[in-house]
Amino acid sequence: MEAMPARTIARTKVDAWISRLLEDAEVVAPVAAEGGDVLYRPVTVPQDVLWEFDNSLQPPKEYVLPQTEPLLAVRAGDHRVSVSALYDLSRRVLFNVRSCDASGIAFLAHISAADLPDPHVLHRLAHTTIVTLACCSPCRDGFCVCSGSGPFLTTGFDVQLVDLGECLLAEVGSAKGRALLDRASDLFREPTAAEREQRQRAEEKALGEFGEQTCHFASAMRRVSTGRVAEALWEAMSPWCLECGGCNHVCPTCYCFSVKDRAEEAGWTRCRLWDSCQLAAFTMEASGHNPRLRRADRIKRRFFHKVSAQYYQRDGMVGCVGCGRCVQVCLGTTHMPAVVAAIRKGEWHG
C-alpha cells in the first residue's frame, strides 16, 4: 500500500502547534473532567489536551450533531413573521479524535449529504477539521477492526497523527488537512524512512493485539438481510433492555432526532433534540397508534438499521464503528457485540 503524504512534528513542538491552532479556531480535544472522566471539550491551553486516555463515554459527535440544536428562529412582529436558519459557522478543530469516532463522523457526513442535504450538519462540517490520533493498542471494549473503522484509518480524517514516541507522524487525508499542516509548516519536517517504517510496525502491532474478533458483522449481516433471524430472538432479548436510549446517545453513527419549538419572548426557536428509536414514544403517532409498540420490534429495527446489507450498500459502511460505548452504557445487556453474537448463533442468553 502506498504511504500517505505525511509530515513529522517533534513532541517538543506539539504544544506550539496547538497554540497556533487556537489562534484561529476552537480546538476541541479530550480533556480530564471532574472525577477522572474524559470529555471532548474546547481547550484554552495546549496542556489540557490528553494524549493517553480511555476514549470518552460521550463521542465527539455532539460537535457535528449537538444534543440540543437550534435550527430556525421564528420571530413575530408587527404584521410579519420572519423565519431564519441558524447555522453554526464557527471554525473548529476536533483534535485527538479516535479512529472509531472519526469513522462515525464520516458516516454522519455521508448521511447528511444524501437525499435532502442537511445544511446544519454540512455547514458545521465544512468549518471543522478533524485530526485523529491513531490507536496503537486496542481499547478495552472496542472492536473497530470488525467494522473497518480502526485502529488506523486510510480515509475519513483530515490529519491522522501516529505517536512514534519522540515525534508524531501527521498523515494528510484531505486538502483541508494539508492546509492545516501548511499553516504551521515551520513546525513540521519531512518524515524519515525509519519513521515511516515505525508507523507501519505500530499499525501491525495494534492489529495483532486485538486477539479474537468480537463482532462478526459479515455473518450477522447475511442473516439479518436474508430473513434468517427468528422473531422469537428479538422477543427473547426484549426483557434485557431497559429502554434508556443510552445506546443511541453514545453511538457515533446514531442520528435519530425529534423537533420541538421553544417559546421565547420574541417568538420561537425550532430545535432538534437527540431522540432514541428504543423509546416507545419515538414512533407513536397522533392517533395513538404505534407501529413499533412492542419493544422487540424496536430492538429489531435498531439492529436492522445498523447491520443489514441494504443500509451497508446505501451508506458505504456498516452502521457500527466498533467503539464499544454501547457495551459500557447499556443499562441492560442488549449491546452490539451481544446482539450480533445472538444473531449469528440464533440464540439469546441474556
Partner 1 sequence: MAGVSPSRNHPVSRGRLCARGWSAHEAPAWGQRLDSPRIRRGGVLETVSWEEALAEAAARLSALLAAGKPVGVIGSPRATNEENYLAVRLARGALSSGNLDLCSGTAYSAVADALQPAGTLDDVASSESLAILEGDLATSHPQAAAAVLTAVHSGARLITIGAARTQMARLAVAHLQATPGREEEVLARLVAAVPCERADDAPTEAGGNWRASRLEAGGLAEGDVDRAARWLAEARRAAFLIPADGRLGEGAGGVASALAALAAATGHLGRPGSAVVPLAARANLRGARDVGVRPDAWPGGARLGDPMAADRLGGEWGRPPSAREGSRAAQLPAAVAGLVVVAEDLAATLLDGAAAAATLGALEFLLVLDAFATPTAALAHVSLPIASLAETEGTVTPLDGRHQAVRACVAPPGRARAGWRVLADLGGALGLPTGFDTVAGVTAEIARAVPPGEPAPGEGLAQPLAEATAEAAHERRKRSTPSPPPADGAARFPFRLALADGFDWGRDVLVAFSPTLCRDHLALRKMYPRGAVEMSREDAESLGVRQGWTVRVCSTGGEAALGVMVRPDLMQGVLRIPFAFREPAAPLLAGATSADVRVERA
| Chain residues that interact with partner 1, rule: CB under 8 A | 33-37, 39, 57-58, 62, 66-68, 238-240, 242-246, 249-250, 258, 260, 262, 273-276, 279-281, 284, 288, 328-333, 350
Spatial separation of the C-alpha atoms in residues 129 and 95, rounded to whole Å: 8
Spatial separation of the C-alpha atoms in residues 62 and 274, rounded to whole Å: 10
Which is nearer to partner 1, 33 or 126 (by Cβ)? 33
> By CB neighbour count within 10 A (0-12 exposed, 13-18 middle, 19+ buried), where does 323 fall?
buried
Least distance to partner 1 from the beta carbon of 326, Å? 11
Which is nearer to partner 1, 165 or 288 (by Cβ)? 288
Residue the block writes with cell 457500527: 320
Least distance to partner 1 from the beta carbon of 282, Å? 8
Which is nearer to partner 1, 225 or 269 (by Cβ)? 269
Which is nearer to partner 1, 238 or 308 (by Cβ)? 238
Least distance to partner 1 from the beta carbon of 348, Å? 12
Which is nearer to partner 1, 67 or 82 (by Cβ)? 67
Which is nearer to partner 1, 37 or 182 (by Cβ)? 37
Least distance to partner 1 from the beta carbon of 200, Å? 33
Which is nearer to partner 1, 171 or 275 (by Cβ)? 275
Torsion of CA 143, 236, 329, 121, to 10 degrees: 80
The amino acid that residue 250 corresponds to is V
Least distance to partner 1 from the beta carbon of 307, Å? 23
Which is nearer to partner 1, 45 or 331 (by Cβ)? 331
The amino acid that residue 153 corresponds to is L
Least distance to partner 1 from the beta carbon of 336, Å? 15
Least distance to partner 1 from the beta carbon of 286, Å? 9
Which is nearer to partner 1, 54 or 195 (by Cβ)? 54
Residue the block writes with cell 458483522: 217
Least distance to partner 1 from the beta carbon of 158, Å? 25
Residue 263: other Cβ atoms inside 10 A = 8
Least distance to partner 1 from the beta carbon of 314, Å? 27
